[in-house]
Amino acid sequence: MKDREKNTMLSDAMIIYRKEIRNLIKDKRTLFATLILPLLLMPVIFIGMDTVMGRQMDQVREKTYTLVIRNNDDPQLIAVIEQQLFIDIIDEPVVGSLIIEFPNGYSMGDETDVNIYYDSTSQSITFASERLIRALQEYDRILANKKLTEFDLDLESLYTIKTFRVDTAPEESQGTEFLVMMVPYLIIIYTFAGAMSVGIDTTAGEKERGSISIILVNQISRTSIALGKVCYVLSMGVASSIMTFSGLLIAFTATGGLMGESSFSGFAASSLVILLLVLIFTSMLAASIIVLLGSLAKTVKEATSYVMPIYIIVVLLGVLTMSLDPSSKPLLFLIPFLNSIILMKGAILGNATLLQLLLTVISLSVVISLLIIATSKLYNSERILDSAVN
Amino acid sequence: MVEVSNLHKAFRAKKQSKQVLSGLSFTAEPGRIYGLLGPNGAGKTTTLRLISTLLKPDQGSIRIDGLDTVKESRAVRDKIGLLTGEMKLSGNLSSRESLRFFGELNHMRREYVDQRIDMISKKLGMDDYIDRPIDKLSSGMKQKTSIAVSIIHDPQVIIFDEPTSNLDILATKVVNDFLLDAKAEGKTVILSTHVLSEAEMLCDDIGILLDGILAVNGKKEDILATQESGRLDDVFFALAKERGIVS
Ligand SMILES: Nc1ncnc2c1ncn2[C@@H]1O[C@H](COP(=O)(O)OP(=O)(O)O)[C@@H](O)[C@H]1O
Ligand SMILES: [Mg+2]
């Protein structure tokens, strides 16, 4: 009789796992796409956006705008506008001009409506119109002050409370709050991408190469084979998401000033832990979906066509619920992927709770387990042999 | 020895049940090559998968050296080496690494695996490229690696399902030489093919699978003797005519 090793179900699964890893290590391209790319992704997006937006703001601010002022030639008005914008006063509007229109026959101190005409399709002109509103508010204060002096009063004496809001974020950071809110979506997109190529290759790819039946005819059980593959894809998904997370940290550090305190209230360690946990569980969920669908499909192409719609649904789910306030609806944290997205957002804003984390982790664990059981059942059925050949 | 008796197998696809095998019986003996012939879709792959424990019969039974493929499937898998024509080895692992992996899958001790690899590599002439990545090998070299994978655990029964269907002439010769060698060593060989000339050249016994049963089953000489020409394709056409498949 032949020499035989005595193995358990798990050590058998590790045979498959080790072989897949060995094969992957020699595949530089896939390795780069699953591990290095996610590390670079976030820093590139953040630093890139930071630079681009900063430059755009500079341009918008330094530009000289043409302005027509109708029915008011008060030099004080021009003075307050010049505090806000570089302007060129002209008589008749040209393309790209802004217009401030006081009513016909306006005289200083009248109670009146003032219209600002601007072209909202231009970002810079929109910016300029906002600055004009500020200037007119300032002008209004000046006029009010003038009226009060006639009664021996001044504006200061009417107000008893003065509030100052000091924005500590450097000026370039305007608009990055949006970017921060995009982080969960970028992460969700990448959790799928990380496990996709390895997950489909080891399942549907194996069928396409015709090696699946050979793998099944030997001493290790089909459950072990399924588990080995699941472990492989899950660990690659997790590795990939840890790289995404590291990339995120690098991005946050590199653009540290940019985040300021307005969007990250200190970004506590607990927030980081929650982000990392959510990331790991979500990538495991994505990976187990991919392994199951890859095993159901007969070809790589078919597998991709199964995964894509789910991918899109998940992203849509996130986008459609972007403005959802989850605080009063704990049950939302039982819905896979949706819970990941809102919990990540909560972590970033510093208002995620332990209960939300707990519900999310429990719900994701249950779904992941069910998917793994289904994959293992599939490997034990005759269906796993279905390939494009028959 | 492989004993197949009264094999039935149906597949359910889209709520319809399709009877593929309905009472298939034959015996393949050690030191001989049994050729399972039939047109595409006749059920050759299904039969070989049933023998390899990949599928379970609806009815009937298969014994490999006396072991039942359903009740003793693990022990049966130890005795059989499977190779299919659809199998395309690929990847960055070398032939040696792949063979070690399959050795592990068969629960063989490392020293024994390495011993087998040396032996098989020498026998098939793989020494020059056994440590090269499989992706860098020629078709003949890949084919030898596939054969090596199928016999790494030294099986008594060799089951090849249309092994030459995707191969060029050189790689085909590798397979045929191997099969004749295995026969000479006293292995039981079952080969499925739809290439009649190949069967005529290699096989000792022949079964022609039509409509879920063996329309013909026996020694090659006896079967060829039924036709004046003594050619297998005439046997085939006579059968097809009998059944109204061709006019
Ligand atoms: N898993 C399956 N599900 C449904 N039908 C199948 C399955 N496997 C094989 N068949 C059908 O069984 C018949 C025999 O197939 P097969 O054994 O592959 O034939 P051969 O190998 O002789 O070409 C074909 O008609 C095929 O479509
Ligand atoms: Mg076939």
**Same-domain pairing of A351 and A306:** yes
Across the interface, which of B49, B74, B93 has its CB nearest the CB of A219? Answer: B74
Average pLDDT on B89-107 reads: 94
Q: Give the chain B residue whose CA is nearest to the CA of A19.
A: B101
Looking at residue A180, what is its pLDDT? 66
**Same-domain pairing of A152 and A87:** yes
Residue A163 within a domain: no
Looking at residue A172, what is its pLDDT? 40
pLDDT category, A108, cuts 50, 70, 90? confident
- Give residue-wise pLDDT tens across range B21-52: 999 999 999 999 999 999 899 999 999 999 99
d(CA B124, CA B152) in angstroms, rounded, equals: 12
Q: Would the CB of B38 count as within 6 Å of ligand 1?
A: yes
Share of chain B above pLDDT 90, in %: 76
Sequence letter at residue A252? F
Average pLDDT on A150-165 reads: 70
Work out the minimum CA distance from B50 to partner chain A, whole angstroms: 11
Looking at residue A264, what is its pLDDT? 43
Across the A/B interface, how many CB contacts are shorter than 8 Å? 87
Looking at residue B169, what is its pLDDT? 87
Q: Give the chain B residue whose CA is nearest to the CA of A382.
A: B55
Residue with the bigger pLDDT between B32 and A190: it is B32
d(CA B121, CA A378) in angstroms, rounded, equals: 36
Average pLDDT on A285-301 reads: 96
Encoding tokens for residue B168?
């060029």
Question: Looking at beta carbons, which residues of chain B come within 8 Å of A23?
Answer: 91-93
Encoding tokens for residue B114?
């390495």
Residue with the bigger pLDDT between A51 and A307: it is A307
SS (H, E, C) chain B: CEEEEEEEEEEEECCEEEEEEEEEEEEECCCCEEEEECCCCCCHHHHHHHHCCCCCCCEEEEEECCEECCCCHHHHHHHEEEEECCCCCCCCCEHHHHHHHHHHHCCECHHHHHHHHHHHHHHHCCCCCCCCEHHHCCHHHHHHHHHHHHCCCCCCEEEEECCCCCCCHHHHHHHHHHHHHHHHCCCEEEEEECCHHHHHHHCCEEEEEECCEEEEEEEHHHHHHCCCCCCHHHHHHHHHHHCCCCC
**Same-domain pairing of A219 and A299:** yes
Q: Is the pLDDT of residue A4 over 70?
A: no
Residue pair A293/A306 in contact (Cβ under 8 Å)? The answer is yes
**Same-domain pairing of A378 and A335:** yes
Looking at residue A105, what is its pLDDT? 87
Burial class (CB in 10 A: 0-12, 13-18, 19+), A7: middle
Q: Would the CB of B44 count as within 6 Å of ligand 1?
A: yes
Taking CA atoms, B29 is separated from A295, B64, B214, B218, in Å, by 37, 10, 17, 12
> Is B52 in contact with A213 (Cβ distance < 8 A)?
yes
* Residue entry with tokens 């509103």: A133
* Residue entry with tokens 């898998």: B77
Q: Is the pLDDT of residue A290 over 50?
A: yes
**Same-domain pairing of A121 and A47:** no
Mean pLDDT of chain A: 84
Residue with the bigger pLDDT between A330 and A308: it is A308
Residue with the bigger pLDDT between A53 and A291: it is A291
**Same-domain pairing of A240 and A286:** yes
**Same-domain pairing of A178 and A251:** yes
Nearest CA to A294 out of A390, A389, A212 is that of A212
Residue A167 within a domain: no
* β-strand partners of B209: B214
> Is B77 in contact with A214 (Cβ distance < 8 A)?
no
- Give residue-wise pLDDT tens across range A21-61: 999 999 998 899 889 988 998 888 878 877 777 777 788 88
Burial class (CB in 10 A: 0-12, 13-18, 19+), B234: middle
Out of A158, A188, A203, pick the residue that ends a domain: A158
Average pLDDT on A211-224 reads: 93
Q: Is the pLDDT of residue A197 over 50?
A: yes
CATH code where residue A90 lies:
3.40.190
Contacts of B62 (CB under 8 A, 6+ apart): B2, B3, B4, B5, B7, B50, B51, B68, B69
**Same-domain pairing of A68 and A32:** no
Across the interface, which of B92, B102, B107 has its CB nearest the CB of A4? Answer: B107
Q: Is the pLDDT of residue A352 over 90?
A: no
**Sheet of strand B33-37: strand arrangement:** B80-84, B157-161, B188-193, B33-37, B205-210, B213-219
Q: Is the pLDDT of residue B62 over 70?
A: yes
Encoding tokens for residue A164?
């100052």
Work out the minimum CA distance from B230 to partner chain A, whole angstroms: 33
Average pLDDT on A269-278 reads: 87
Q: Is the pTM of this model over 0.90?
A: no
> Is A4 in contact with B108 (Cβ distance < 8 A)?
yes
Report the CATH architecture of B2-242. 3-Layer(aba) Sandwich (3.40)
**What is the Å distance from ligand 2's center to B136 Cα?**
28
Neighbouring residues of the ion ligand 2, judged by CB less than 5 Å = B 44-45
Share of chain A above pLDDT 90, in %: 38
SS (H, E, C) chain A: CCCECCCCHHHHHHHHHHHHHHHHHCCHHHHHHHHHHHHHHHHHHHHHHHHHHHHHHHHHHHCEEEEEEECCCCHHHHHHHHHHCEEEECCCCCCCCEEEECCCCCCCCCCCCCEEECCCCCHHHHHHHHHHHHHHHHHHHHHHHHHHHCCCCCHHHHCCCCCCCCCCCCHHHCCHHHHHHHHHHHHHHHHHHHHHHHHHHHHHHHHHCCCHHHHHCCCCCHHHHHHHHHHHHHHHHHHHHHHHHHHHHHHHHHCHHHHHHHHCCCCCHHHHHHHHHHHHHHHHHHHHHHHHHHHHCCCHHHHHHHHHHHHHHHHHHHHHCCCCCHHHCHHHHHCCCHHHHHHHHHHHHCCCCHHHHHHHHHHHHHHHHHHHHHHHHHHCCHHHHCCCCC
Residue with the bigger pLDDT between A58 and B217: it is B217
Domain extent listing, chain B: 2-242
pLDDT category, A229, cuts 50, 70, 90? very high
Q: Would the CB of A389 count as within 6 Å of ligand 1?
A: no
Residue pair A241/A282 in contact (Cβ under 8 Å)? The answer is yes
- Give residue-wise pLDDT tens across range A59-106: 888 889 999 999 988 888 999 899 888 999 998 888 888 999 999 888
**Same-domain pairing of A153 and A217:** no
> Is A23 in contact with B93 (Cβ distance < 8 A)?
yes
Q: Is the pLDDT of residue A160 over 80?
A: no
Count of structural domains, chain A: 2
d(CA B30, CA A141) in angstroms, rounded, equals: 107
Instruction: Specify the range with the lowest mean pLDDT, choosing from A7-16, A108-117, A201-210.
Output: A108-117
Question: Looking at beta carbons, which residues of chain A come within 8 Å of B17?
Answer: none
Instruction: Tell me which residue range forms the domain holding A78.
Output: 63-158
- Give residue-wise pLDDT tens across range B131-167: 999 999 998 899 999 999 999 999 999 999 999 887 8
d(CA A26, CA A20) in angstroms, rounded, equals: 10
Across the interface, which of A15, A209, A216 has its CB nearest the CB of B104? Answer: A15
Residue A141 within a domain: yes
Q: Give the chain B residue whose CA is nearest to the CA of A1.
A: B78
Q: Would the CB of B50 count as within 6 Å of ligand 1?
A: no
> Is B107 in contact with A389 (Cβ distance < 8 A)?
no
**Same-domain pairing of A143 and A224:** no
Nearest CA to A25 out of A312, A239, A207, A191 is that of A239
Share of chain A above pLDDT 70, in %: 88
